[in-house]
Each structure stands twice: as structure tokens, then as C-alpha cells.
Amino acid sequence: MEFLSLELYTAGLHFFTNPLVWLALFTGTFIGIVFGALPGLTATMTLAVFVPFSFGMDMVIAFAFLLGLYKGAVYGGSIAAIIANIPGTPSAIATGLDGYAMCRQGNAGKAIGIATIASAIGGLFSVFILAIFAPVVASFALRFSAQEFATIALFGISIIAFISPGNLVKGLIAGVLGLMIGVVGVDTISAHQRFVFGQTELVEGIDIIPVMIGVYGLAEMFTQIMEKGVKERIVQRVTDIVPDISEILRLWATYIRCSIIGVFVGAIPGAGGSIAGIVAYGQEKRFSSSGTKMGTGCLQGVAAPEAANNASTGGALIPLLTLGIPGDPMTAVLMAALIIQGLRPGPMLFEEQMPFVSSIFISASLAVLFMLLIGLVGAKYFARLISLPEEYLIPAILLLCLIGAYGTRNWLFDVLILVIFGVIGFILRRCGFSPACLCLGLILGPIFESDLRRAMILSGGDWSTFITRPISFTVLMATFLVLFGPFLKKIIKKIFLSGKQG
């Protein structure tokens, strides 16, 4: 089947004759910007809290809503970074360096306007790259068998080495905990019950959504309660948001350079928008003619990280849709939503659900346009969200967490799971463990187990099948380098230094 055909890009157009799709896109983008603009409420948490509200919707409407949340929340973080120097999301860390400096100079509106334009350009560029390269990767991945998918899932698990904040051992511990949670329930091959302990609610396994809402949403609220009053939030006046055409055009090279960086970094499993923004900021400071001024309130310093972190969203969707690898916590939540809708990300998604894949490309593009419109029109109002009293905000989000967990399957047991994993997530954070590692282990563990066992059945129990097949062997070598590369680097460095000294 030829994936790179006009049909792939037009097959989903008929879905957009339904006004509910447009409403879902607008609502998702609006809510995403609101939550992204609130300091501490990450894009991952936003997705985790609102995924249950998409259940029962048609899958096209559901993903229009979720993609709107995704795009809106990543952009919304720039507002808090510029107004109060408190990144609303981790991907906006670099934006605050020049954005807040501009704010202190009385140019908060101009900074938000440039951030909005840069975010839209980076977002649209990433959708274009997604639409071109995802079908190519999916077409290649159709040659994969169970062996390849098992090693790719293992490679996805090894991403834990990247996303764990500075401690591989803690990341692996959290990942193993996720793997253990993932095997609870009925074995998909033999239909035997595992780790159920007589609880009928556990026969179907532990649902991913209450776990995610717990470790991201509930745990974040517990953390906010613990740190209440620590951060002082200052609200600045925002005017003159729409920048001059000359100012927009003057930054064209910045948009292009940083959008390319963003897509490339976003497509690397484990990288994400925060790394894309920081890398783009550093490269812009190095190569831009205005690099020496960055950090003092320079437009390039705002445009560079925003173009990159929004471009990373499309890049991150490439491995998710084509290989089923969630490269960061946000795409992990989106993958969970796909699975719950009865879909499995991978090359067969392009072959069996072409209209749906087409609708993803179109929805992602429209979400960026809605983000641009809502951002330019409503930025001054979103800026006021930073001053919302926490005594009203935190209970409202806690209520959304409870509703989302219960609404997944209408079970009170899922609310109990929510609370348990909220406490676990809070403890993990306080001890320096990454909740993202736990979630990746929980999502990819069952996939790895299923494909591994299918591969062993197909090969008659011969483990060498993973080495004799070129693609699976290559992925295994990549996984080995990811896990043991840092240790090998240290050993080689010690040998080199000792030899030099001798």
C-alpha cells in the first residue's frame, strides 16, 4: 500500500463537516491554554486530567479535543514565564529568560505576541513534517514482525534512562514499578489471572487513566499544597499584543532554524519540549546576529524556544503514531487514550484507520490556528489567571481529578486507585523519582510482554531470532547503548586518561 498518497491527507476531511469536531478543537485548545498558563499545571497533567472526559466521544472528536489540549497547554506555559518568570510548563523554561526581561521593561504584550506567532509557526511546521515523514516511517515499519515490535517496545522502556532527572537507577526503579503494575490482571496469552489477590476489580488490570491522573494531577496538587505561599506571583499589565509585521518578518530565520531543531529533538524519544526549547535558545544565542543581546529582553530569545517547543509536539507524534513509542510523558498519555479507544499506534494504524490518521493531521493543524487566534485575542485575560487564589484553584482541580478517575469505568475502585497513586506519585516526587518512568513502564510493559511471547511462539522458543533479524538486532544494539552508554563512556575515558598518564 502506498502511504504517501493524496488520500491520506484528504480521507479525514468529511469528519470536519461535523460542528462537534470544531467545538472539541476550540474547547480543547482554550482549556489547554488556560491550564498551561497556570504555573505548576503541566501539559502532561492537563492531558491526564481531561483524557477521561473524552471517553464516550467518537474517536475523531476525542482526539480533536486532546490535540487541542496538547497544543494549547504547550503554548500556554509561555504566558506565565513572560508575566511572572514562572514557567507554566517545563517547555517554557527558556522563554522566561528574555520574556520576563521584556516584561520588566514594559513590553510584556509584545513578548507574548511574538511568543504566540513563533508557537504557531513552529506548530504548523511540525504538522507539515509529521504529515510527510510519519507515512514514510509507517510504510517501512510494515515490514516488522513480533521480534521487531518487541525490541522497539524494549527500546521505548529504555527511554527511562533519558527522562529520569539525572539518576538512571531511580528511573529504572520507577520503570520496574510500572512494569509490575502492568502485569496485574489476566494474561493475554494464557488467560490466567496474575496478582489479582481475589479482587474481582483487578481481573481487568489496573486502568492507566486513574494511575496517570494520580501520579500527575493528584500528586501535583499535593505538592502545590505543601509549597503554598512559597512562590510570589506578580501580575503585570499586558497591552499591545499583536506585533508589527516588520518585527515578525525580521525573525524569519529564527523561526526556521528553531522549528527544525524542535521537530528533530521532539522526534528523539525522551527529549521533549523543554530540551527542544533550551537547545534552540542556546543555538540561537550562538548563531544569531543578536545573540549577545539575548538574556536582556531580546525578541529572538522569546521566539527561539517557543518555535522549538511547539515544533517538538509534531516531532513527538512521529514515533508515537508510527512505532507506538511514546517519547515523552505527554505522548504517553495520548498513547493511553488511543489504546482505550481500541486503537494501537503503529504502522497498521495507517493501513486500517487511514481516515482517522488523516483527521489527526488536520486536527493538529487547526488546533495551531485556534491557538494563534485565542492567544492573540485572549492573552491579556489569560495573564490574569496567574493571580487566581490557590484556595479556589486547587479544590477545583482535585474535583476534576476525582470526576476523571470515576468517569473512566464508573467504578469507585478507580477512585481508590487514584488516591493510592496520588500518594505514590507524591512520594516519588519527594524522593527524586520520575512519575514519567512509572507511566512508561506501565504502558509499554504489557506491549513488550505480548510481543516478546508472540515472537518466542513464532520462533519455537529460539532466542537467537532477535539477533538473526537485522532490524531487531539493530534496535537491541541501540537499546544497549542507551542503557550502558554512559557507563562505557566513563570506562573508556578512564582507560584513555590512565594510558595518557602512563
Is the pLDDT at 96 greater than 70, yes or no?
yes
Model pLDDT for residues 143-165, shown as the tens digit of each residue:
777 888 888 778 777 766 555 65
Q: What's the mean pLDDT in 157-177?
A: 71
Which residues have C-beta within 8 Å of that of residue 90, sequence separation ≥ 6? 42, 77, 272, 273, 274
328 or 150: which carries more pLDDT confidence?
150
Comparing 82 with 292, the larger pLDDT belongs to 82
Sign of CA dihedral 233, 398, 179, 469: negative
Predicted pLDDT of residue 28 = 93
pLDDT level of residue 500 (50, 70, 90 thresholds): low
Banded model confidence at residue 1, pLDDT cuts 50, 70, 90 = very low
In DSSP notation, 248-275 reads HHHTHHHHHHHHHHHHHHHHSTT--HHH
The per-residue pLDDT for 230 is 45
Per DSSP, the residues of 186-214 read: E-TTT--EES-TT-GGGTT---HHHHHII
C-alpha 459/C-alpha 150 separation (Å) is 13
CA dist 7 → 126, 135, 322 (Å): 20, 12, 18
Model confidence pLDDT, tens digit, residues 372-414: 999 888 877 776 666 667 777 778 778 878 887 777 677 888 8
Residue appearing with cell numbers 519527594: 430
Give the residue, 264 or 65, on which the prediction is more confident.
65
Give the type of residue at 250. R
Q: How much of the chain, in percent, has pLDDT values that exceed 90?
A: 11
Angle, in degrees to the nearest 10, between helices 43-50 and 19-37: 140
Q: How far is CA 72 from CA 18, 309, 375, 446, in A?
A: 22, 12, 9, 31
pLDDT digits (tens, 9 = 90+) for 235-280: 556 666 677 788 788 888 888 888 998 888 787 765 667 778 777 8
Please report, for the chain, the start and end positions of each structural domain, with discontinuous segments joined by +: 6-194+203-501
* DSSP 8-state symbol, 364: H
C-alpha torsion 11→16→18→23, nearest 10? 140
pLDDT single digits (tens) 191-244: 788 888 878 888 888 887 788 778 877 887 888 787 665 444 545 566 666 777
- In one-letter notation, the amino acid at residue 424 is I
Q: How many C-beta atoms surround the C-beta of residue 15 within 10 A?
A: 20
Tell me the pLDDT tens digit for each residue of 222-236.
887 876 654 445 455
- Average pLDDT over all residues of the chain: 80
pLDDT of residue 62: 92
CA 333 – CA 436 distance, rounded (Å): 10
The SS3 call for residue 185 is strand
Q: Buried (b) or exposed (e) across 114-153, using 16+ Cβ within 10 A? A: bbbbbbbbbbbbbbbbbbebbbebbbebeebbbbbbbbbb
pTM value is: 0.75
